[in-house]
Amino acid sequence: MSKFLSLEGIEKRFPIPGKEDYIAVTDVSLEIKKNEIISIIGHSGCGKSTLLNMISGLDAQTEGAIVLENKHVQGPGPERAVVFQNHSLLPWLTVYQNIEMAVKKVMPELTTKELKERVEKFVSMVNLEHAKDKLPDEISGGMKQRVGIARALAIKPKVLLMDEPFGALDSLTRANLQEHLMRIQESVQNTVIIITHDIDEAVLLSDRVIMMTNGPEATIGEILEVKLPRPRDRVALQSHPEYIRCREAILSFLYEKFAKEDE
Amino acid sequence: MNSELLKKLFLPVLVFMIIIQVWATIATLVEEFPTPADTYVAAFGGVNSLGDEVEGVLSDPFYIENQDSKGIFWQILASLQRVFAGFGLAILVGVPFGLMLGMSKMAHYAFDPFIQIFKPISPLAWLPLLLFIFQDINMTAISTIFITSIWPIIINTALGVKSVNKDYLNVAKVLQFTPMEKITKIILPVSIPYIFTGMRLSLGIAWLVIVAAEMLTGGIGIGFWIWDEYNNLNYHNIIIGIIIVGVVGYILDLIMGKIADYFDYRKKGRVS
């Protein structure tokens, strides 16, 4: 398989006046295949969000290159859509308008009718037909995040970047959204990178789990392949030997090899 | 009947009666101070305490006898025209300037010290200088209003721009908005409530300024009228003038508040 997205020797330094640079992330090299779902997991402060921001282009790497389909990533762009942790919906636009705004900008060639069809398709993909004319403040946190996902997918990105997408939600809502994401992924194949600190979420959703060592100078510690068949059922998985193996591998990485002391 | 509503109606009436009583007491203490009754007659017409039949100031507010003698309506109108001319100019200049100040750190560093110095200058300090420049009553009044009411608009607009959530700007970056799209689709919707707060403050200042400015410049206008009535020894009309200034100012603020609410997405006054 040809290279789809590759990170080549990424390093991120933050200058500190009067001191040596703070090296947040160093020597991160990774190849991501098309339609692969990977999660990046690590303790807080391991630079996983910094890494995602560099892939999205919102932040520039100090060293190394990020190449998507043979093109160097320079700055943000709609082919790398981001689902932000706090959803980032514009509060003065309705659910429908939030998605419409993005589609209109990225696909200016669409006719009024095509635009409407596309927006409605993605509204219904996340089951929000009933709430499409509501403002973000009038819907629940889980629904907002679904709109965020719909908005990101509606602009047909090559890569979907999710920065702790369900981190701010309660565990039941989180499970519900994970189901949504898996169901959507089955119909619209996508390359997805998820930042998470939730072990179950990482195993349930991913093809590969990237485990980051602790910062400063964080890097990739181990990469775990999750060889579970899809569609995955969270209840049935609990006793699946592969699921248990993956969970244990991540647990031992995070709490034995790279345990983090409370500061 | 709703007891809350009863209190809302009854309590202001009670306070009104106390004010009238205090006023009546002052009238007995200060020689020639107009009593509430005489002031009422001077406003709406009738027979005053001296037994004279008088025309009220408000019974024919629209009369025009000659260029120098016009009804109270025309005085208020002249003042409002100057206020809105100066206020309009302040919006036209203040909003873009505030946007620039909020978006550019360089602009903020460059201009902020001067804004802080100009802001507290009294309109009366500007007036002689502006009168000297323009040699014209209208231009002087309008420019005085402009220069004293522009600061809250600039400051609040800049504050609004700075309050834009960084995440919204990240959304704009990912979608590759042009700078113009960034302003119209992200920055303005967030800043509009702040801009209107600035405009409301600014209009309040403009209305304060006009009365003082007109007293010094003369000609026509509610401020001039109050001063003129002082020179004519019509003290009851001064009180009428004060009440009119207060009521008009209150109405202006009320209207501005309604407009502000209409454009504030947080209050659901959705534009589209």
Residues of chain B with CATH 1.10.3720.10: 71-267
Read off the pLDDT of each residue in A41-60 and give the average, rounded to a whole number: 89
Whether A81 has its CB under 8 Å from any CB of chain B: the answer is yes
Which of B174, B176, B268 is closest, CB to CB, to A56? B174
Q: With a CB-CB cutoff of 8 Å, which residues 117-176 of chain B face chain A? A: 165, 167-168, 170-171, 173-176
Residue A221 is assigned to a structural domain of this protein: yes
What local confidence, expressed as pLDDT, does residue B271 receive? 43
Residue A152 is assigned to a structural domain of this protein: no
CB contact under 8 A, B175 and A92: no
Which residues of chain B neighbour A81 with C-beta distances below 8 Å?
A: 174
**Is a pLDDT exceeding 70 seen at residue A2?**
no
Three-class SS of chain B:
CCHHHHHHHHHHHHHHHHHHHHHHHHHHHCCCCCCHHHHHHHHHCEECCCCCEECCCCCCCCCEEECCEECHHHHHHHHHHHHHHHHHHHHHHHHHHHHHHHHCHHHHHHHHHHHHHHCCCCHHHHHHHHHHHHCCHHHHHHHHHHHHHHHHHHHHHHHHHHCCCHHHHHHHHHCCCCHHHHHHHHHHHHHHHHHHHHHHHHHHHHHHHHHHHHHHHCCCCHHHHHHHHHHCCCHHHHHHHHHHHHHHHHHHHHHHHHHHHHHCHHHCCCCC
pLDDT band for A262, please (50, 70, 90 cuts).
low
How remote is the C-alpha of A158 from its chain's centroid? 13
Residue A69 is assigned to a structural domain of this protein: yes
CB contact under 8 A, B167 and A82: no
CB contact under 8 A, A84 and B177: no
Read off the pLDDT of each residue in B86-110 and give the average, rounded to a whole number: 95
CB contact under 8 A, A77 and B170: no
What local confidence, expressed as pLDDT, does residue A147 receive? 93
CB contact under 8 A, A92 and B265: yes
pLDDT band for B92, please (50, 70, 90 cuts).
very high
pLDDT tens digits, one per residue of A145-188 = 999 999 999 998 999 999 988 887 888 888 988 998 888 888 88
CB contact under 8 A, B170 and A58: yes
Residue A136 is assigned to a structural domain of this protein: no
Please measure the distance between the N-terminal and C-terminal CA atoms of chain B and give it in whole angstroms. 40
- Residue B14 and residue B4: Cα distance in Å, rounded? 15
Residue A140 is assigned to a structural domain of this protein: no
pLDDT tens digits, one per residue of A64-116 = 999 999 889 888 999 999 998 887 899 999 999 999 999 999 999 999 999 99
Q: Residue A197's domain is classified under what CATH number?
A: 3.40.50.300
What local confidence, expressed as pLDDT, does residue B59 receive? 80
Read off the pLDDT of each residue in B216-223 and give the average, rounded to a whole number: 87
Which residues of chain B neighbour A84 with C-beta distances below 8 Å?
A: 167, 170-171
ipTM: 0.86
Whether B105 has its CB under 8 Å from any CB of chain A: the answer is no
- Residue B221 and residue B206: Cα distance in Å, rounded? 14
pLDDT band for A30, please (50, 70, 90 cuts).
very high
Whether A78 has its CB under 8 Å from any CB of chain B: the answer is yes
Read off the pLDDT of each residue in A123-151 and give the average, rounded to a whole number: 91
Is the Cβ–Cβ distance between B223 and B212 less than 8 Å? yes
CB contact under 8 A, B175 and A84: no
Read off the pLDDT of each residue in B99-103 and give the average, rounded to a whole number: 93
- Cβ-Cβ pairs closer than 8 A, A with B, add up to 49
Domain total in chain A: 1
**Is a pLDDT exceeding 70 seen at residue B45?**
yes
Domain B71-267 sits in which CATH superfamily? MetI-like (1.10.3720.10)
Which residues of chain A neighbour B165 with C-beta distances below 8 Å?
A: 88
What local confidence, expressed as pLDDT, does residue B272 receive? 40
CB contact under 8 A, B170 and A90: no
* Nearest C-alpha in A relative to B190: A92
Whether A144 has its CB under 8 Å from any CB of chain B: the answer is no
pLDDT tens digits, one per residue of A219-257 = 998 999 998 888 888 888 888 999 999 999 999 998 888
What local confidence, expressed as pLDDT, does residue A257 receive? 84
Is the Cβ–Cβ distance between A38 and B135 less than 8 Å? no
Count other Cβ atoms within 10 Å, centred on residue A233. 13
Whether B177 has its CB under 8 Å from any CB of chain A: the answer is yes
- For A217, the domain range is 5-79+157-257
**Is a pLDDT exceeding 50 seen at residue B214?**
yes
CB contact under 8 A, A78 and B176: yes
**Is a pLDDT exceeding 60 seen at residue A1?**
no
Tokens read off for A188: 């619209």
Residue B152's alpha-carbon distances to B89, B140, B148, B188, in angstroms, are: 13, 20, 9, 17
Whether B33 has its CB under 8 Å from any CB of chain A: the answer is no
pLDDT tens digits, one per residue of B10-32 = 999 999 999 999 999 999 999 88
What local confidence, expressed as pLDDT, does residue A259 receive? 80
Whether A92 has its CB under 8 Å from any CB of chain B: the answer is yes
Instruction: Among B174, B190, B268, pick the best mutation site for testing chain A contact (most A Cβ within 10 A).
Output: B174
Whether A210 has its CB under 8 Å from any CB of chain B: the answer is no
A188: β partners:
none
pLDDT band for B63, please (50, 70, 90 cuts).
confident
pLDDT tens digits, one per residue of B73-83 = 999 999 999 99
What local confidence, expressed as pLDDT, does residue B269 receive? 45
Residue B174, min C-alpha distance to chain A (Å): 5
Tokens read off for A60: 């520039």
Q: Give the percent of chain B with pLDDT over 70.
A: 98
